[in-house]
Amino acid sequence: MGITELLLFVCAYRGISQDSEALTAEKIRMATQSDLRGQQELLEPSVRSWPPVPQQAPGVTSVARLAHKVPKDAKKAFDRGTKLWKDGKTAEAVAALEECIRLDPDFAAAHNNLGVQYYLAYRLDDSERALRRAIALDPAYAEAYSNLGVLNLAKNNFNEAEGMARRALALAPRNVEAQRLLNETLRHSK
């Protein structure tokens, strides 16, 4: 389950209408702040196992990822950050992923995951910078485009969100999260 699906689940759980223009960063913040961490045992297993491992469409690997060799220490910090993310420990995950990037500034997946963690910590400008850096490092990184689209949707930047969703789908046509993002952006931009 990706960011879009999780946010829609949380909004539904908290009673925020998805049919209105209620899906704003402030309302998402209010919905998630009080319940998400303390109520993880109530979430379905697919939500508890979120986030997915950064991935391309099945069978697709970008040249940038093939060419980039991640140092062992950076990989350990990345794995630690991913585990902390899964455990709902956003602040600790941010610290681990920042350490990972300090050790390997060209690790696109670390920038992507850090961007998502910043988003969850309501550090939207930092989130955007990290996600854009992931895309700069790996222009074929569909998940980073999708995540940047979610950020733009939360900021009510519907045209930008739509563009990111379309780019993610061009790179990975079976990306369900990008398909949902595109549907949401089109619904809100009407």
CATH number at residue 165: 1.25.40.10
| Domain range for 145 | 3-188
Q: Which amino acid is at 113?
A: N
Query: Total domain count for the chain?
Result: 1
How much is the pLDDT for 36?
A: 39
pTM exceeds 0.85: no
Answer yes or no: are the C-beta atoms of 147 and 117 closer than 8 Å: no
Q: What is the pLDDT at residue 158?
A: 93
- Tell me, what DSSP letter sits at residue 41? G
- Tens digits of pLDDT across the chain (190 residues): 455 555 555 555 445 444 444 445 445 445 444 433 433 333 333 333 334 444 444 445 666 666 788 999 999 999 999 999 999 999 999 999 999 999 999 999 999 999 999 999 999 999 999 999 999 999 999 999 999 999 999 999 999 999 999 999 999 999 898 999 999 999 887 7
Q: So what's the pLDDT on residue 68?
A: 81
Distance, CA of 98 to CA of 128 (rounded, Å): 15
Positive or negative, the Cα torsion across 121, 175, 43, 12? positive
Q: Rounded to an integer, what distance in angstroms lies between the CA atom of residue 128 and that of residue 130?
A: 6
Q: Token pair of 35, please?
A: 């319940």
Give the pLDDT score at 75: 95
H-helix or E-strand spanning residue 119: helix 108-120
Pair of tokens at residue 118: 């910043």
